[in-house]
Amino acid sequence: MSEEQALADARARITEYRDRIQHIDANHADLLFREARNHNWWQEKDVTDDQLREIYDLLKYGSTSSNTQPARLIFIRSQEAKEKLKPCLAPPNVEKTMLAPVTALLAYDLEFHEDFAQNYPVRPEMAERFRNDAAVAEKFAFQQGTLQGAYLIMAIRAVGLDAGAMGGFNTVMADEVFLQGKNWKSNFLCNIGYGDLEGIKGSRLYRYDFEEVCQII
C-alpha cells in the first residue's frame, strides 16, 4: 500500500467510527469511572486466558509517547507463582491477592528503546537519547509504563471484570523473583477478577471537584 493510500485509510477509519459513536453513554461512564471501585475481595470465578488477551488487546491501544509502549505484564495465576508472590506483598495485600483469580505484575522495560524503529518509524534516531542515558530511559519508561497501567485498569473494567491495584509490595524482591534475566522493573500489581462485595468496606472516598484542582487560564 502506498503512503498516500495508508493515510487515506487511516483518516477514513476515524471518520467511520466518529460517525458511529460520539460519546460513551451513562452506563459505560459508570462501568469505567463513576461507579467503578478498587476491589479487595474476590468471587470464586475464574478469569480465562481469552479474557486476559481481551484486556491486553484493549490496553495496547492507549497512547504512549513516541508509541514506545514500555509496559510489560506478567499474569500470575498458578498456585506456584502465587506462592512466590506472597513474600513480596505488604501484609494488608496478602490475603486478597492469594484469593484473586489472577494478579497482573505491571513492569516497565528499560530497553524499550531497542524497538524504536518498529514502534516509531518516523523518527527512529530518537532511540539514541535513551540508549545514551540510562536515567532518562528509566524515568521515561516508568512514566509511560504507569500510563499504560492506568489503561490496564480501565481495560479490566471495560471487559466487565474488576481491578484491585496495589503499590504495596517489595518491588526489589518481585524483580528478583519474577524478572530474572530481563531488563524490566516492577511498577505495580493489579488483582483481576469478579469483585466480592465483602471487600468493599465503605462508600466512595472524597474526590476533588473541578473548582478545587482545575484551572482554565
Ligand X SMILES: Cc1cc2nc3c(=O)[nH]c(=O)nc-3n(C[C@H](O)[C@H](O)[C@H](O)COP(=O)(O)O)c2cc1C
Q: Give residues in contact with ligand X (CB under 6 A).
A: 37-38, 92-93, 165-168, 188, 204-205
Q: Provide the minimum distance between the beta carbon of 102 and ligand X in the complex, in angstroms, as a whole number.
A: 17
DSSP state of 193: E
> Toward ligand X, which CB reaches closer, 17 or 33?
33
CB distance 93 to 76 below 8 Å: no
Q: Provide the minimum distance between the beta carbon of 192 and ligand X in the complex, in angstroms, as a whole number.
A: 13
Kindly list the distances between the CA atom of residue 47 and the CA atoms of 42, 105, 174, 206, 211, in Å, as whole numbers in the listed order: 11, 16, 23, 31, 40
Q: Which residue is nearest to ligand X (CB)?
A: 168
| Total count of residues recorded for the chain | 217
> Toward ligand X, which CB reaches closer, 66 or 93?
93
Which among 146, 127, 123 is positioned nearest to 137, based on CA atoms? Answer: 127
User: Rounded to 5, what percent of the chain is helix, strand, coil?
Assistant: 55, 15, 30
> Toward ligand X, which CB reaches closer, 120 or 193?
193
CA 64, CA 70: separation in Å to the nearest integer?
Answer: 9
Q: Provide the minimum distance between the beta carbon of 22 and ligand X in the complex, in angstroms, as a whole number.
A: 28
Helix (H, G, I), strand (E, B) or coil at 35: coil
> Toward ligand X, which CB reaches closer, 166 or 192?
166
Q: Provide the minimum distance between the beta carbon of 167 and ligand X in the complex, in angstroms, as a whole number.
A: 4
CA 36, CA 189: separation in Å to the nearest integer?
Answer: 18
> Toward ligand X, which CB reaches closer, 127 or 152?
152
Q: Provide the minimum distance between the beta carbon of 156 and ligand X in the complex, in angstroms, as a whole number.
A: 12
CB distance 189 to 152 below 8 Å: no
> Toward ligand X, which CB reaches closer, 62 or 168?
168
Q: Provide the minimum distance between the beta carbon of 63 and ligand X in the complex, in angstroms, as a whole number.
A: 19
